[in-house]
Amino acid sequence: MTYSLDSSDIQRAASRTISMELEAIEALKERINDDFVRACELILQCKGRTIVTGMGKSGHIGNKIAATLASTGTPSFFVHPGEASHGDLGMITKDDLVIGISNSGSSSEIVTLLPLLKRMGVPLISMTGNPESPLAESADAQLDISIEMEACPLNLAPTSSTTVTLVMGDALAVALLEARGFSAKDFAFSHPGGALGRKLLLRVSDIMHKDGEVPKVSHNAKLSQALVVMTEKGFGMTTVIDEQQQLIGVFTDGDLRRCVDQGKDLSQALMSDVMSANPKTVHKDILAAEALGIMEERSITALVVEDDAKHPIGVLHMHDLLRAGVV
């Protein structure tokens, strides 16, 4: 096989494709109209699931649209229209809603389903480039995804049309997300295995060091004793407590350096004289991501976790956040 394009031709072809698809997307803004609002209202009123269907490349895009809807608060899945005619139509109930995708609006596999969906009383949203097609005429709301020309120079391969369909699907998903008041926490529950899920669901209590791992010394203890505790626990700090076991301060590696600079007697100095009073603490139930923000703001690597009675019950170190994938 011989190739007729040189490097500059290849770059021009790629740039032309991007420009054509950008123009097609830009044209979508004028189509966010009453039909788009109606489509959103139908989905918000739906008591069941939003079923997306489409053939060929439209089906591939439909799969992605269904996945995006499902992960942003709209229960949704994809049904192949060909399989629907051979049993999978049973996956659709009268409480559901269908989004049918076809650039021509005449895909035979989808057209076959239209009277059956109508008989079931299932609301239909069409995404098509032909407003006079069977799909558009059967729809309760029509989303216009028409284009002037495919980016393919033969005007055959679905390129601009599939891009426009995908963007329209994203616009629909985001509009519904905002209408539902869908939050980042809600999103995290749909993505518990991802980095975002860990950031938004993991709490300090899930990863903090507790019980015997928490370094503690009395405010009457000597600095030399505190250094032994700090070495044993390995956090580069220790909590300082009073007679009621309540937190009154911390002593860190930074405090130690200041003691050295000030010429303190490291063997005799008392913790009450060298500790940092009123340290920043967190509650065990706050999100680990929030604790990370506090550490970054204060340029510290460890936080004391305090209960409601002001007892130090845990220590959260930056290394714990790294291991948990929060950072």
Residue 276 lies in a domain: yes
* 249 and 307 together in one domain: yes
Same domain as 314, residue 266: yes
Dihedral angle over CA of 172, 173, 178, 182, nearest 10: 160
Q: Are residues 156 and 21 in the same domain?
A: yes
Question: What percent of the chain has a predicted confidence (pLDDT) above 90?
Answer: 73
24 and 161 assigned to the same domain: yes
Among residues 132, 151, 182, the one where a domain terminates is 182
Of 305, 294, 302, give the one whose Cα is nearest residue 318. Answer: 302
- What is the domain-level CATH number for residue 272? 3.10.580.10
Q: Could you tell me if 150 and 156 are in contact, meaning their C-beta atoms sit under 8 angstroms apart?
A: yes
Q: Does 134 share its domain with 42?
A: yes
**Pair (33, 169) in one structural domain:** yes
Statement to judge: residues 65 and 176 lie in one domain: yes
- 122-179 tens-digit pLDDT: 999 999 999 999 999 999 999 999 999 999 888 888 999 999 999 999 999 999 999 9
Q: Is residue 190 part of a domain?
A: no
Residue 196 lies in a domain: no
Q: Which of 227, 218, 224, 269 is nearest to 248 (CA)?
A: 218
Residue located via tokens 């389903």: 113
More confident residue, 43 or 86: 43
Residue that is last in its domain, among 115, 150, 182: 182
Q: Are residues 139 and 208 part of one domain?
A: no
Is there a single domain that holds both residue 178 and residue 221? no
Q: Is the pTM of this model over 0.85?
A: no
Residues in CB range of 153: below 8 A, 6 or more apart: 13
Asked whether residue 210 falls in the same domain as residue 178, the answer is no
Count of domains for the chain? 2
Statement: residue 107 has pLDDT above 60: yes
pLDDT tier at 36, thresholds 50, 70, 90: very high
Looking at the fold, whether 162 and 278 belong to one and the same domain comes out as no
pLDDT at position 323 over 90: no
Whether 256 is covered by a domain: the verdict is yes
For the segment 207-249, what is each residue's pLDDT rounded down to a tens digit?
Answer: 999 999 999 999 999 999 999 999 999 998 999 999 999 999 9
Residue where one domain finishes, among candidates 120, 147, 182? 182
CATH number assigned to the domain comprising residue 87: 3.40.50.10490
Q: Which of the four pLDDT bands, split at 50, 70 and 90, describes residue 26?
A: very high
The residue range of the domain holding 285 is: 204-323
pLDDT tens digits, 182-193: 776 666 666 666
